[in-house]
Structure 1
Amino acid sequence: MPDKKNKFHSSVNVIPVIRTPNFTFSRELPQSKILSDIASLFSDKAPDTLDHLGTGTYSGQMRLRIKTMTALAFGQQTTPNQKAREVSIYRDPESDNPLIPATMIKGMIANAYERVTASRFRIFDDHSEPLTYRADPAATNSLIPIRLNANFENGTHTGKLLYGPNNARFAKYFTFDQKERLSNSIRLKHGDHVKFRALLVGKTFVVTEVWDNEAERYSTLKLPKGVKDAIKEMRKTDSKSDTEQEPTQIEGREYHGWFYATTPDHLLGTDDRIIDTKRSERIFFDYEQAQIEQSVPREIANTYDRVILSYAYNTDEGEVPPEKASRFVFERNNDGLIEPVNHNGLLAYARIDSNNKITEILPTEVGRRNYSRSPRDLARSQQILPATQLKEASPGDRLFGFTADSTSSSETKAPSLRGRIYITNIDTSKVLTKEGKDSLLKLRPLMSPKPSSARRFLTDANGITIGRKARPEYYSDGQLLGASTYPFSRKHAMAGGNGTNRNASEWNSSYEQDILKDHVGLPGPKVQTKILSWIPRDQHFYCTLRFEGISRDELRILLLLTSPDLIGRYAPTSERIEKKNKPTGFLRMGMGKPFELGIVKVSCVYHSIYQNVSDAEHQGLATDYEELAGCLGAPGEFLSDKEYGWDCRSFIDQAHSFYELLASTPSAKAFLRTCIGYPGTHEVRYMKLRENRWNNQTDPRTGMPKDDNGVAPRSLIDDQWTQALEVGEAN
C-alpha cells in the first residue's frame, strides 16, 4: 500500500433508482397526504388522454434564461480522413447565430425530471446476457475439469466431472521454465487423448512421461529444476523408509487423460508464452473410478459461449488483437457474429456450488467469468426497463412522452404517447462563441465506463453504492442498477475565464497514453475530440417551455428544476455553513460532462400559467377560451392583474412539505446533490489507470479486495457524500 493516497471525487457516479413503495422518507415530516401524493406520482400507470384538459390541471408557458457556467460544447460531429473527431456548433444560415436544438434543451429537462422521480429508463441496450469479469486466483479451487457428452448437440445434455486419483483436478504438463528452456520431444495438441505417467509431488500430480504412439514407448519429459529436486528428495526419503513402496508410486503410475492447453498449438514448446509466468498446461484425468456424471442444461453450457464471445475483437471497429493471445481469442466476422460453439465432447472447467452442482462452464482457470444475473434481468425485476405498454408509463413517460420498443404481439402496433412539454422560441442572438485555431478545445477520450465495472453502476436495495465485494457477488439478486450521472466541483461552476477545465484536455501521464494506444490501437491525439467551436462561460440564451394539462405535482417539479435557488434550498447537504447559505443549483447539457463542461444555470424569468377549474367564479383556461380572452402561448393582459394573476410564490410556499419529502427520496436526494456540486478543493476526475489497478487488487485467498482497496464512488445519498475518495497507485 502506498504511503500517500490521491484524493478526488469520481466524475462518474450513480443516482439510485428505487421503484418500490418502500421509499426512505424523513420521519420528522408530515407524511400522510403528501406521502400518498408522491407514491402516486412515482408509480407506473396509464397516462390521461390528450383529448381534454382535466380539472385541476395546469397549462401555460415559462420563459427560461439559460446561462453557461462552464464551456458548452455540442453540434455537428465529423471524422475527417480517419482522424480525430471534430465537433462544431450549428449556425442559422440567415443570422449566423448559434443553433441550439430544442431537443437538447428538452432532453436536459427530461433527464432531470426522470432522475428526480425515479422513472423508467428511456433507453436500455439489450444487455440480455450476463456480463463477464476477470476472476480472482482464489476462485480456481471451485473449478473442476469437465467433458460434455459426445452427443450433447443432439440432446444428450450431460457431462462428466473429471476427478482424478485422490480427487486431483489435473496433472501438470510443464512446457517452459524461467531458468532452463524445456524442449520435450512429444508434441501434444489441445484435445489429444494420451496415456501418461504422473507422480504426486506434494499435493499436485506432475506428468513425468508421455506415451509416444509412433515409437510405441514412453518418452521422458524434461522438468524444471525445482520439480526435479523435489522428486529426487521424495525418492531419497522412500529409499530410507522401512515400508516397501511399489515402483510405480515412486516413478509414477500410469493414467489416461485429455491434454488441455490455453496456449495455441503452434506456440506449444516454444519460447512464446501468453503470460510471462505461465509454466505448464494441464492433462485432465480420464479416471473412471472418480468421474461424476451430471445433467448440464443448455443454459449452463451457454455460459461457456458467453465467455468465449468476450474474447472476440473486431479490427474494423478499431480493436487491436493482443500480441500474445490465448487459444480462445479470435476476430469476429464482418457481421459481428461468431460460429456456434460445438459442445460435443467439449473439454472445459465447471464451477460447482456447495451442493456439487454445476453452475457455470468456463474455458480457463483464471480468466473471465459470468456474473450470475444479466443487467436486463436486474432491470426487469427492478421495473426500470422502457415501457412496453401504456399502463407501464412512468412519471417521465407520462410527461415527456414515449414510444414503446416492443409489444407482446408482433401484430399489435407498439403504443406511443405524445408528451405535454414543448420547447420553442430559442433566442441565441446575444450568444458569443469561441472558434478558430487559437480557441481549439481538445477533449480527452470520452471512453464510456464499462458496465462490468460493477462498483460504478450498482446499489443495494436502499440505494447505497456497492463496494468491497468479491467479483462473483456483483450483479446478483437484490441489487439495483443506478442511473449514471456526472457530478462537478462547485468551484469550477463559479470560476471565471472561458469555463474550460484543464482536466478535459490534459493527460494524466504518458503512461496513460501508452495504455490507451494498446487498447484502441491509436495514439492519444487521434482519439481526442477536437471542439472547433463552442460557447464560453457567462453567455445567455432564452427559450420558451410550454406545457398542457399537467398535474399539480408535475408543475411543482418543473418549477423546482427551473429555479436554481429552489434547488439549492431543498438539496440535502451535510455542511453546517450551507444551512444558512444555500448553494445555487445547476443543470447539465452538451458534451464533456465527465470533464465538468456544460454546466448551466436554468432560470424562469417569466411565466403565464393557467389552472383549469370547474368553479365558474374563478378564472381558468376553459373560461378564457369561452370569452376569447386568452389561449395557450398568447395570454391576455389581465394576467398582470394581481386579482386574476396566478400566484406562483404562494403555489411554491404551499408545496414546501412536498419538496421536503421529495428531497428525502433516494433518487431526488442524489440528483439535487449533483446539481449543487461537490464543495471544497478536491478535483473531480476519472480514476487514473495506476489507481484503477491498485483499486482492483484482491486477496488471492479470499477473492475480496485488499485492505482499503475496492473503493466505489461515494454514494450521493450518504451523509458523507462530500468526502473525497482516497486511492493509491499500483506499481
Structure 2
Amino acid sequence: MPEEPKTSTLSIITTSKGKKNVMITVQTKKGSDPRPVSEKILSSELVPLLNKTPDDLKDMEVAYEMENGIVRKVWKKGGKWSGETLSHDSSRKPQQHRGQDKYARNNRQQGSRMQPRQAPFQEKEAFHNPYNFVSVLPRNKVINDLGDSEPKGHHAYHDDHWSGWIDIQLTTATPLLMPNAALVSTNEADHKTFPVRVDASGAPYLSPTSLKGMLRSAYEAVTNSRFGVFEKHDSRLAYRMDARKGIEMVPAVVENGSAGLQLRLLSNNTTIGSNGVPVNGLMYAAWLPRYQKYSSRDHHPKKDKEESQRALHYPDHTLPQHGDRVWVRCEQQQHRSGRFSFLRVTDIRRRTLGETTPTHFQAGIVCITGPNIMNKHEERVFLLTQNDPSLDLTPSLIAGWNTLIENYQRIHADELEKRNKNGDSANDYLGHEPGKTAWSRHIDSRNQTQLKEGSVCYVRVACDNKDYNVLGLYPVTISRDLFPEKPADLLHDSLHSATDYKALSPADRVFGWVHQQGKGAWKGQLRIQQAVCEIGSQAIEHFGNDGLPLAILGEAKPQQTHFYVAHNWQGDPLPDGRERSVGYQERTQGLRGRKVYPHHAHLAGLHEYWLQPEADRTQKPMLYQGKKYYQEYRRPPLQEGSKDKTRDNQNRSILGWIKPETAFSFKIQISNLSSVELGALLWLLNLEKDYYHRLGNSKPLGFGSVHLQVKSMALRKGQDWAEFYQHFLETDTPCLCDINEAQPHIEAYKQAVFEAYGQPFGKKSFEEVSFIKAFKVALRGFRNGLPVHYPRQDEKPNPKGESFKWFVQNDKSRGPHLALPALETERGLPLLNE
C-alpha cells in the first residue's frame, strides 16, 4: 500500500557533462536520501518544465508518495496528482534483473540467452524508426499464378494475356530528391553537393529506371515474389561481444604439429575453467607496461599515447614488437578492484632459439594490439610453460578467423582511408572517442593476419576436465564475434533469387530477371516511358550556391539483430529482452523481410515543415496536436573549435529539390500479363489518395512520398490484338480503357493472395495477409502522430548523428534489448538515455 504523502523540495544537480538532473530528497528509515525525478513519477503539469526548463523546478515545494521505499508520485504542494500511475510490478521488475548474481550473468548458457528476460522493458513510445520491413512468407507450396513459372515469350501476343499501355499521374506529397551524380562537386572536407537532375529544357528528370525500381520493389512485396537481388548476405556477420567475455579469453600461439597447424594454449599453469575463466583468479598473460593511461580530462593526447616514455624497453632501449620471442621477469600484483591478480613484467629481453633460461625469467611471446582504448596502459606477453596443451587447428576455425578479420577490415576501410589522406597512421592515437583512438593492428590490412606458425591470438574454449573444445579464435580480448548463421541461411529457399528461367516468380516475369550467380536473363514484360513534368523548371526550388546540408543518413547494419532478425519464417520480431547475440543463431529463425521506408504521415498537418529549408530550425520544436516535431531533414550546425563541421564527409548537400504537389505523367507499356499479374500492378498503381510510394534519395528524412493514379489505359487480350492488327482499322474488339473496368483483375489478384497466403495462415481476408497489411501501413504512414527519425538518445536532433549510442544503450547487459516493432502494429520506440 502507498504511504501517506509527505512534502519536500526539489533541487538541481549538474553532471560533469552539463546535464541537469532534478532531485527530490525523501525521508527513509536511515535518514534523508536524494532521489532522481523522472517523467514517469512527475505530475503531468510539471513534465514540460522537466523536459524544457528544469531550472524552473529548483526549490519548488512538492508533495510525494512512496510505496515499498520507491517514489511513485510527485506533485506541486497544495495541488493534486495528475498522470498515469506507475504500477508496482512495472517498476520492480527491472530492479530484479539488475540484482541478479553477477557471476550467473557472466556465464549464461546458450539456452538461457535464447529466452527473453522476465521483465521486458516498458517505456513511453517517442518515435518511429525511418525504416521497417514488410514480411516475406515461404512460397514453396504456392501453385496459383503467384507461384514460379516460365514467362510468356515476347514472340507473340498470347491468348488470354493482356498487353497495351497505362497512363499514370505521379504527384509529389513531400519534396523529391533526384540528384545529378554526374555534376557533383566536392570540397576540401570531402563534402559532396548535388544539383537537381534536369532534362534539356531544365525540367526535373525522373529516370525510367528509378520509376521501374520503385514499382518493382512494391510489386515484389505485394506478390511475395523472390528477391530480385540478394547479394552480399552469404557471409557470417560479426557483433561486438559482451566486454565481460574478455576474461574467458585464453592466450594461444600457432605452431606446426605432426599433422599440420596446432593451437598451443598458454594458460601459464593456471587452471582453465569450464568457460575459459582462470580458476584461481590469476590472469593468464603477463601485463607489459606500454602507454600512458588517459582520462577524459586529458585534452591534448599524444599520437603515441606517450609510448616512448611509458613503455618498458629492451636493454638496448628499443621497443618490444608484436610477435617477439622474449624472456620476462614478472612480479605478481593484486588488481586494485580486488577481483583478480596479474603478473606485471618488470624486465624484458630478447630470446633466441636454444638459449638457456636466465634465472628468474620465463619465456614468452609479445602481443601488441595498439593504443586502442583511452585508459589502456599495458600490452601483453603470452607466457610459455612445459605443460601447455596443444589442439588441432581445424579448417573451420581458420575459416572463422579469416571471416572475422575480413569483417573488421571491411567495416573500417573508409576510416583508414580517411586517416591516410590526412597523413595519419592506423596506430596514431588522435583522441579519446571511438574512431580517434588507434586502430588495433588486425584492422590494418597491411599487417599479417593470416594464421601461420608463430601467430598469436586469443581462444574461447569450453573445458571439461582438460578436454578442450575450441569455440573460436580472436585477435583481441574484447573482440567482435561471428554469428553462427549467415543472413542468407535464414531466408527460405523459395525466396532466394531465381536460378532457373523456367521457375520465375511474378516480379521476375513482369519486371525482368538476371541470374545472380551464372548465365541467364529475362527482359521482362513491362517498359516505362519518359516522365513529363507538367510545369517544367518551375517545379524546382533552388537553394543557392552552398545548398542545403542534409542530416546524416544511417547505414544498413544487419548485425543489429533486434531490427533485422525474425523469430520465425513469418517475419515476427524477436521478443523484447533477448540479447543481440541470439540473432542468426539457427535456421528456424528468419529475416524480417523487405526493407521499406514508411511515409511520414505526421507531416501532413505541419504545413511550415518544408518552408524556408535554408533556415536552421533543427533545435526549435514545432507543436501540432500536442506533440513536438523537429526539422529532421537538415543537419544542425556543428562547430568544432574554429572549424564549421556542418558540411563534412558524413552528410551531403543539395542545391535544390522538386517541390511538393508537382505532377508528372508517364506511360507504362505491358505485354502478356496474366489476369493476376495485371491485377497486382493495377492495385499498386491506383491506391487510395492517402497512400504514397517512396521515390528518390534520402527517404529516411521524409523525402520522396509520391501518389500514383491511373488516368487512362488501353489493354487488350492477345487474341483481340491479333484481330486489331489484321484490320489496321478501328474495330469493336474488347478493350480495358478505364480502371473501373479492371476491377475483376484486381479481385483476381486479391483472391490469389488470399488463397496462397491468407487461408493457410488462418487469415479471414486479403487485407489481413501479413505482407499486405504491413505494406499498406508503410504507404499510408503511422496514425499515432509520432515523429519519424533514426534512434537517438535525446528528443532534439544531434548534429553528429550518433544513432549508434541508442543501440549501445539497448544492447547493454541491463538494457531493454528492444526489437523493432512489426510494421502493422504501428508501435514506436522510446528514447534511450545513458
1:98-132 alpha-carbon deviations (Å, 9 max, x no partner): 33222222221111101222333333443443232
Contact 2:220–2:507 (CA<8 Å) still a contact in 1?
Answer: yes
Match of 1:11 in 2: 130
The letter of the residue matching 1:79 is V
Point out the structure with the larger helix share.
1
Contact 1:488–1:684 (CA<8 Å) still a contact in 2?
Answer: no
Question: Within 5 A, what are the aligned runs for 1:472-483?
Answer: 472-478=581-587, 479-481=589-591, 482-483=593-594
Cα distance change, pair 495–459 in 1 and its aligned pair in 2 (3 A): same
Q: 1:680 aligned to 2:776?
A: no
Task: Select between 276-285 and 10-19 the one with higher mean Cα deviation.
Answer: 276-285
Task: Select between 362-371 and 142-151 the one with higher mean Cα deviation.
Answer: 142-151
| Residue of structure 1 aligned with 2:694, choices 588, 597, 622 | 588
Alpha-carbon distance between aligned partners in 1 of 2:256 and 2:581, rounded to the nearest angstrom? 30
Match of 2:507 in 1: 396
Match of 2:477 in 1: 365
**SS of residue paired to 1:157:** strand
**SS of residue paired to 2:452:** coil
Q: CA deviation at 1:562?
A: 0.9
1:370-412 alpha-carbon deviations (Å, 9 max, x no partner): 2223334445x645443343145332111101222332xxxxx
Cα distance change, pair 663–607 in 1 and its aligned pair in 2 (3 A): same
Contact 2:203–2:539 (CA<8 Å) still a contact in 1?
Answer: no
Measured on the aligned residues, the alpha-carbon RMSD in Å equals 4.0
Q: CA deviation at 1:61?
A: 2.0
Question: Within 5 A, what are the aligned runs for 1:289-688?
Answer: 289-297=387-395, 298-303=398-403, 305-306=405-406, 309-310=409-410, 312-314=412-414, 318=418, 321=426, 322-328=435-441, 331=444, 341-353=450-462, 356-378=468-490, 382-407=493-518, 414-424=519-529, 426-431=531-536, 432-437=538-543, 440-461=547-568, 462-466=570-574, 468-478=577-587, 479-481=589-591, 482-493=593-604, 496=607, 499=610, 503-507=631-635, 510=638, 523-527=645-649, 528-565=651-688, 584-612=690-718, 620-629=720-729, 639=735, 647-652=741-746, 657-658=751-752, 661=758, 662-688=766-792
1:592-627 alpha-carbon deviations (Å, 9 max, x no partner): 2111111011011212222346xxxxxx33333344
Match of 1:712 in 2: 819
1:291-348 alpha-carbon deviations (Å, 9 max, x no partner): 2423432324424533553575357854675543144155557xxxx76625222110
**SS of residue paired to 1:697:** helix
Contact 1:209–1:218 (CA<8 Å) still a contact in 2?
Answer: no
Contact 2:125–2:828 (CA<8 Å) still a contact in 1?
Answer: no
Alpha-carbon distance between aligned partners in 2 of 1:599 and 1:2, rounded to the nearest angstrom? 41
Q: Which has the higher contact order (CA 8 A, sep 6+)?
A: 1
Cα distance change, pair 637–391 in 1 and its aligned pair in 2 (3 A): closer
Q: 1:108 aligned to 2:227?
A: no
Alpha-carbon distance between aligned partners in 1 of 2:348 and 2:204, rounded to the nearest angstrom? 78
Cα distance change, pair 219–447 in 1 and its aligned pair in 2 (3 A): farther
Q: TM-score, normalised by structure 1?
A: 0.74
Cα distance change, pair 341–54 in 1 and its aligned pair in 2 (3 A): same
The letter of the residue matching 1:604 is V
Q: 1:79 aligned to 2:190?
A: no
Aligned-pair identity (%): 20
Contact 1:7–1:724 (CA<8 Å) still a contact in 2?
Answer: yes
**SS of residue paired to 1:106:** helix
Q: CA deviation at 1:193?
A: 3.5
Match of 1:243 in 2: none
Alpha-carbon distance between aligned partners in 2 of 1:535 and 1:325, rounded to the nearest angstrom? 44
**SS of residue paired to 1:288:** coil
Match of 2:798 in 1: none
**SS of residue paired to 1:671:** helix
Q: CA deviation at 1:663?
A: 4.1
Alpha-carbon distance between aligned partners in 1 of 2:345 and 2:415, rounded to the nearest angstrom? 42
Contact 2:364–2:383 (CA<8 Å) still a contact in 1?
Answer: yes
Contact 1:194–1:210 (CA<8 Å) still a contact in 2?
Answer: no
Cα distance change, pair 427–2 in 1 and its aligned pair in 2 (3 A): farther
The letter of the residue matching 1:465 is P
1:180-234 alpha-carbon deviations (Å, 9 max, x no partner): 99775656443334354454857745225656559999999xxxxxxxxxxxxxx
Task: Select between 369-378 and 170-179 the one with higher mean Cα deviation.
Answer: 170-179
Alpha-carbon distance between aligned partners in 1 of 2:737 and 2:503, rounded to the nearest angstrom? 42
The letter of the residue matching 1:564 is L
Cα distance change, pair 204–497 in 1 and its aligned pair in 2 (3 A): closer
Alpha-carbon distance between aligned partners in 1 of 2:158 and 2:294, rounded to the nearest angstrom? 84
Q: CA deviation at 1:722?
A: 1.6
The letter of the residue matching 2:180 is Q
Alpha-carbon distance between aligned partners in 2 of 1:655 and 1:184, rounded to the nearest angstrom? 75
The letter of the residue matching 1:294 is D
- Runs of at least 5 residues in structure 2 that lack an aligned partner in the other structure: 1-35, 40-123, 272-277, 296-308, 421-425, 427-434, 614-629, 759-765, 793-800
Q: 1:63 aligned to 2:195?
A: no
The letter of the residue matching 2:133 is V
Match of 2:833 in 1: 729
1:339-365 alpha-carbon deviations (Å, 9 max, x no partner): 662522211011235774223211101
**SS of residue paired to 2:776:** helix
| Residue of structure 2 aligned with 1:139, choices 245, 250, 259 | 245
**SS of residue paired to 1:647:** helix
Q: 1:278 aligned to 2:376?
A: yes
Match of 2:80 in 1: none
1:400-431 alpha-carbon deviations (Å, 9 max, x no partner): 01222332xxxxxx211111111125332335
Cα distance change, pair 284–108 in 1 and its aligned pair in 2 (3 A): same
1:66-102 alpha-carbon deviations (Å, 9 max, x no partner): 1111111104123324364333334342x44333222
Cα distance change, pair 605–109 in 1 and its aligned pair in 2 (3 A): same
Alpha-carbon distance between aligned partners in 1 of 2:381 and 2:149, rounded to the nearest angstrom? 59
Task: Select between 120-129 and 54-63 the one with higher mean Cα deviation.
Answer: 120-129
The letter of the residue matching 1:8 is F
1:443-482 alpha-carbon deviations (Å, 9 max, x no partner): 2233423333333332232202336433432233323333
Alpha-carbon distance between aligned partners in 2 of 1:17 and 1:725, rounded to the nearest angstrom? 23
Contact 1:151–1:345 (CA<8 Å) still a contact in 2?
Answer: no
| Residue of structure 2 aligned with 1:170, choices 279, 284, 287 | 284
**SS of residue paired to 1:681:** coil
Alpha-carbon distance between aligned partners in 2 of 1:325 and 1:505, rounded to the nearest angstrom? 33
Alpha-carbon distance between aligned partners in 2 of 1:210 and 1:370, rounded to the nearest angstrom? 36
Contact 2:286–2:345 (CA<8 Å) still a contact in 1?
Answer: no
Alpha-carbon distance between aligned partners in 2 of 1:543 and 1:649, rounded to the nearest angstrom? 22
The number of equivalent residue pairs is: 617
Q: TM-score, normalised by structure 2?
A: 0.65
- Runs of at least 5 residues in structure 1 that lack an aligned partner in the other structure: 23-34, 221-252, 264-272, 408-413, 566-582, 614-619, 699-703
The letter of the residue matching 2:675 is R
Task: Select between 169-178 and 64-73 the one with higher mean Cα deviation.
Answer: 169-178
